[in-house]
């Protein structure tokens, strides 16, 4: 203590302080992140746990006692011991599913139902279920049966945790071949859709072709109808009684062909919306540079246009792929004998009430989402913003030959889309196809049919409006937080992953997951079960990804310099958000809201398990009517959905035009 050395206390570690702005942003992100966790991650977790629930017969839980013919009881003996003695069942034989039964007489080789021998059975633990006939017993007290009753005794399996379901799945060739079929269908549909949609979007954004507005409307049409509807139309067109049956040259429309055509139809707008957003913003200066460097049109296309739209193309491909692979409406209506994964879930859950195996198939369907996420991260690292603060927006120049080509391309697609819709309208009006072709409005008398009648139609509109408003706010804010918050990388990654996930989740799985999660008395959110709220939450969540990708694509094209500039001008982020970000992205925001609205009108699978008496929906009515054989009324209700969505879409177009005039003037020179 002589003061030769003064030890300084170690200083505080230097940390970057999160300013108020950053704190608010993080708070927002946590709130929206929390929404995704509750509406997505936890239900999925419930689903995953379900896929790990396995069933097997636990023989140690049962004890038998057998009498001789005079009625004197022998020693109690456990089923496990009997089995060991007889060598009757190997451990693998004892595995089963939730519906498994094991006849108790199997443990008694000399059993005869006429013998006067009596049997006793009891559980050695609390949970040792068995059936007498169809009566469930579960007790540790001895139960006595005569021989004739004992032959009706079946042991029931008990649940435990394990990977057994997966092993069973992959060893079943029927189920396994569905994976191949699904991937084949999805790949073919994706290639076709992306090529067609790219050409379409390119013509609309990069040419001076006439009728752009009309084409844009037509391109969005398929999104306005439930995915079952193209199936119905294709049957009317190419089925065994089809109007254009000869065109297929003997090929059957039932099977992969029908699924692919229908899939291209219903995924087209999804791909188009993403690619179009990517193509809508381009820097005129890059094209001027290319031109002054004497690059050919072809070369410019490959080194300027395609790289600029790369992010949108890849997103569109993944969106299409997962939409096709998870859709069950089309394969159900027109798939014939072609087994795909989504149909397997349907068969397992609806046909056999085997939720565990349904959950396993669902888990396998999650794989594309994981791949999509990985690729998305890779792409994002390389993505550069196209629109900097100094950008000059691209304006196409007239070129007659090119325009004619564009017109032909878009025209062909438009005829295809309009044709399908018109056939549906025709189907809705025909009295009895194909034997009574007179027209009538009988098929619109929905109150006489399945599905809740006209009330369900109004419910659908309410649900869609709520979904559009709430969903847009949640989705866009979420995307903004992912794209424009600096730091907090781990949180953003988790968020991005959660946002990508819904696309790969079949609606039916989401719906089931919601039942497991929300219809649990221990869950404080139990109250929303059976209400409109759960329909809205499930729908927003189900369609989260495309909205998120649209918002991201738009946001990526705003230069990151805006944030530092605003910050240096001491402007809080929400002012920048409200004054710059939202106005610049307004077209994208409107696209997201209309996307959510029309999908909420058409969605079937996500809500089929969740609707209640007070909240029947029009889209469910379509499914139920088709199922009950009322195919024409199903088409009629489908067309009601179409017209409603068309009106919403026209309103959207009007609003967008006015908004563009007011907020997007800067895009033009």
Partner 1 sequence: MKKTLLLSAAAALLCTVAARAETELTVYTAVEAEDLARYAETFNQDHPDIKINWVRDSTGVITAKLLAEKNNPQADVVWGLAATSLLVLKTEGMLEPYAPKGLDALSKNFRDGDNPPSWVGMDAWVAAICYNTVEGAKLGMTAPTSWMDLTKPEYAGHIVMPNPASSGTGFLDVSSWLQIFGEEKGWEYMDALHQNIQAYTHSGSKPCKMAAAGETVIGVSFAFRGAKSKAAGAPIDIIVPSEGIGWDMEATAIVAGTDAPEAAQTLVDWSISRKAMEMYNVGYAVVGIPGIAKPVEHFPAGIEDAMIDNDFEWAANNRSAILEEWTRRYDTKSEPRS
Residues 441 to 460: which contact partner 1 by CB under 8 A? Answer: 448-452
In the shown chain, the binding pattern of residues 421 to 440 toward partner 1, with x for contact by CB under 8 A and - for none, equals ----------xxxxxx----
Nearest 5°: phi and psi at 284? Answer: -55, -30
Q: Tell me the closest approach of the beta carbon of residue 37 to partner 1, in angstroms.
A: 22
By C-beta, is 215 or 355 nearer to partner 1?
355
* Residue 72 CB contacts under 8 Å (≥ 6 apart), including other chains: none
The nearest distance, CB 89 to partner 1, in angstroms, is 15
Instruction: Assess contact for 450 and 625: CB atoms under 8 A.
Output: yes
- 475: nearest Cα among 547, 530, 372: 547
The stretch among 214-222, 235-243, 279-287, 307-315 that binds partner 1 (CB under 8 A) is 235-243
For residues 125 and 324, give the distance between their C-alpha atoms in angstroms, rounded to a whole number: 48
Residue nearer to partner 1 on the CB measure, 340 or 648:
340
State the minimum distance, in angstroms, from the CB of residue 184 to partner 1. 11
Cβ closer to partner 1: 361 or 546? 361
Residue 153 phi/psi, 5-degree rounding, is: -85, 125
Stretch that binds partner 1, among 221-229, 236-244, 305-313, 579-587 (CB under 8 A): 236-244
CB count within 10 Å of CB 547 equals 28
Q: Kindly tell me which residue out of 26, 88, 101, 667 binds partner 1, with binding defined by CB under 8 A.
A: 101
DSSP state, residue 393:
B
x/- track of binding to partner 1 for residues 352-391 (CB under 8 A): xx-x------------------------------------
Q: How many residues bind partner 1 (CB under 8 A)?
A: 71
**Residue numbers 513-532 binding partner 1 by CB under 8 A:** 515-516, 519-521, 526, 529-530
Closest separation between CB of residue 234 and partner 1, Å?
12
Q: According to CB under 8 A, which one of 254, 394, 517, 573 is a site residue for partner 1? A: 254
Spatial separation of the C-alpha atoms in residues 150 and 103, rounded to whole Å: 9
Query: Of the candidates 226, 239, 269, 502, which one interacts with partner 1 according to CB under 8 A?
Result: 239
Residues 561-590 that bind partner 1 (CB under 8 A): none
Selected binder of partner 1 within 3, 71, 173, 398 (CB under 8 A): 173
57 binds partner 1 (CB under 8 A): no
**Token couple for 509:** 């799985």
Q: How far is the CB of 617 from partner 1 (least distance, A)?
A: 12
Half-sphere exposure (Cβ direction) of 91: Cα atoms closer than 13 Å: 1
Widest distance between CA atoms in the chain: 113
Distance CA 121, CA 141 (A): 8
202 or 516: CB nearest partner 1: 516
Least separation in angstroms between CB 146 and partner 1: 16
Report whether 363 contacts 48 (CB < 8 A): yes
Q: Residue 667 Cβ, how far from partner 1 at the closest point, in Å? A: 49
Query: C-beta of 462: minimal distance to partner 1 in Å?
Result: 19
Distance CA 557, CA 383 (A): 10
Q: Is 147 helix (H, G, I), strand (E, B) or coil?
A: helix
Q: Residue 318 or residue 355: which is nearer to partner 1 going by CB?
A: 355
Stretch that binds partner 1, among 63-71, 314-322, 346-354, 579-587 (CB under 8 A): 346-354
Identify which of residues 53 and 515 has a Cβ nearer to partner 1 in the complex. Answer: 515
60/177 with CB nearer partner 1: 177
> Which backbone phi and psi does 66 adopt, to 5 degrees?
-120, 140
* Residues 610 to 649 in contact with partner 1, rule: CB under 8 A: 612-614, 624, 627-629, 631
List the one residue from 338, 373, 394, 457 that touches partner 1 (CB under 8 A): 338
Q: Which stretch binds partner 1 (CB under 8 A): 39-47, 81-89, 213-221, 251-259?
A: 251-259
Question: What's the distance, Cα to Cα, between the start and end of the chain in Å?
Answer: 78
| Angle between the N-to-C axes of helices 532-542 and 453-484, in degrees from 0 to 180, rounded to the nearest 10 | 50
Of 123-162, which residues contact partner 1 (CB under 8 A)? 131, 133-136, 138, 152, 154, 156
The residue (of 76 and 100) whose beta carbon lies closer to partner 1 is 100
Q: For partner 1, which is the closer residue by CB, 134 or 489?
A: 134
Instruction: Please tell me the distance from the alpha carbon of residue 266 to that of residue 323, in angstroms, as a whole number.
Output: 9
Each as own residue / partner, the long-range contacts of residues 461-466 (CB below 8 Å, 24 or more positions apart, any chain) are: 461/601, 461/644, 462/532, 463/532, 463/535, 463/536, 463/539, 463/600, 463/615, 463/617, 464/596, 464/597, 464/598, 464/600, 464/601, 464/648, 465/597, 466/532, 466/536
- Residues found in the chain: 669
**DSSP secondary-structure letter at 18?**
P
Of 665, 539, 517, residue with least CA distance to 50? 517
The residue written with tokens 């696209």 in the block is: 591
Q: Which of residues 2-41 bind partner 1 (CB under 8 A)?
A: none
**Judged by CB, which is closer to partner 1: 519, or 664?**
519
Torsion angle in degrees (nearest 10) through CA of 469, 526, 608, 611? -70
């Amino acid at each position: 203590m002589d003061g030769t050395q003064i030890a300084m206390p170690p200083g505080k570690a230097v940390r970057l302080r999160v300013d108020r702005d950053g704190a608010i942003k993080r708070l927002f992100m946590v709130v929206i992140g929390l929404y995704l966790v509750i509406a997505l991650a936890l239900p999925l977790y419930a689903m995953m746990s379900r896929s790990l629930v396995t069933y097997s017969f636990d023989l140690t839980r049962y004890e038998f006692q057998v009498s001789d013919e005079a009625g004197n009881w022998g020693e109690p003996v456990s089923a496990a011991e009997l089995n060991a003695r007889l060598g009757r069942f190997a451990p693998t034989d004892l595995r089963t599913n939730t519906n498994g039964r094991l006849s108790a007489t199997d443990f008694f080789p000399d059993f005869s139902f006429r013998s006067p021998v009596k049997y006793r059975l009891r559980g050695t633990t609390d949970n040792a279920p068995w059936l007498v006939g169809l009566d469930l017993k579960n007790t540790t007290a001895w139960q006595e049966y005569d021989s004739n009753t004992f032959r009706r005794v079946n042991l029931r399996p008990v649940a435990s945790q394990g990977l057994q379901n997966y092993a069973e799945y992959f060893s079943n060739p029927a189920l396994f071949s569905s994976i191949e079929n699904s991937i084949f269908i999805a790949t073919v549909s994706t290639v076709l859709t992306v090529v067609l949609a790219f050409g379409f979007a390119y013509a609309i954004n990069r040419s001076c072709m006439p009728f752009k507005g009309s084409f844009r409307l037509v391109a969005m049409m398929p999104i306005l109808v439930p995915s079952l509807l193209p199936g119905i139309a294709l049957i009317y067109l190419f089925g065994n009684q089809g109007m254009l049956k000869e065109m297929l040259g003997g090929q059957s429309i039932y099977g992969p062909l029908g699924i692919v055509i229908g899939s291209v139809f219903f995924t087209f707008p999804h791909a188009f919306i993403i690619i179009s957003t990517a193509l809508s913003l381009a820097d005129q200066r890059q094209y001027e540079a290319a031109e002054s460097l004497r690059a050919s049109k072809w070369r410019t296309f490959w080194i300027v246009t395609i790289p600029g739209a790369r992010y949108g193309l890849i997103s569109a491909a993944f969106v299409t792929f997962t939409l096709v692979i998870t859709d069950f409406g089309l394969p159900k209506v027109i798939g014939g004998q072609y087994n795909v994964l989504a149909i397997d879930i349907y068969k397992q859950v609806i046909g056999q009430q085997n939720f565990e195996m349904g959950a396993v198939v669902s888990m396998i369907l999650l794989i594309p989402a994981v791949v999509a996420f990985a690729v998305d991260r890779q792409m994002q690292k390389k993505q550069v913003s196209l629109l900097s603060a100094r950008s000059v927006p691209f304006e196409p120049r007239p070129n007659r030959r090119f325009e004619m080509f564009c017109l032909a391309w878009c025209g062909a697609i438009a005829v295809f889309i309009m044709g399908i819709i018109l056939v549906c309208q025709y189907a809705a009006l025909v009295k009895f196809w194909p034997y009574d072709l007179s027209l009538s409005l009988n098929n619109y008398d929905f109150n006489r049919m399945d599905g809740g009648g006209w009330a369900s139609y109004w419910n659908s509109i309410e649900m869609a409006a709520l979904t559009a408003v709430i969903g847009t706010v949640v989705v866009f804010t979420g995307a903004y937080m992912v794209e424009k918050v600096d730091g907090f990388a781990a949180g953003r990654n988790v968020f991005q992953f959660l946002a990508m996930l819904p696309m790969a989740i079949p609606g039916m799985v989401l719906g089931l997951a919601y039942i497991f999660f929300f219809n649990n008395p221990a869950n404080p959110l139990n109250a929303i079960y059976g209400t409109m709220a759960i329909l809205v939450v499930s729908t927003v969540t189900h369609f989260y990804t495309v909205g998120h990708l649209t918002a991201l694509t738009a946001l990526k094209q705003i230069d990151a310099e805006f944030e530092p500039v605003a910050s240096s001008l001491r402007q809080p982020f929400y002012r920048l958000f409200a004054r710059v970000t939202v106005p610049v992205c307004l077209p994208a925001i409107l696209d997201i809201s209309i996307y959510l609205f029309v999908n909420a009108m058409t969605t079937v699978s996500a809500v089929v398990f969740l609707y209640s008496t007070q909240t029947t929906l029009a889209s469910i009515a379509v499914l139920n009517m088709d199922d009950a054989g009322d195919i024409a009324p199903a088409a009629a209700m489908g067309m009601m959905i179409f017209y409603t969505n068309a009106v919403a879409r026209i309103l959207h177009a009007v609003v967008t035009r006015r908004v563009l005039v007011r907020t997007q003037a800067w895009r033009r020179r």
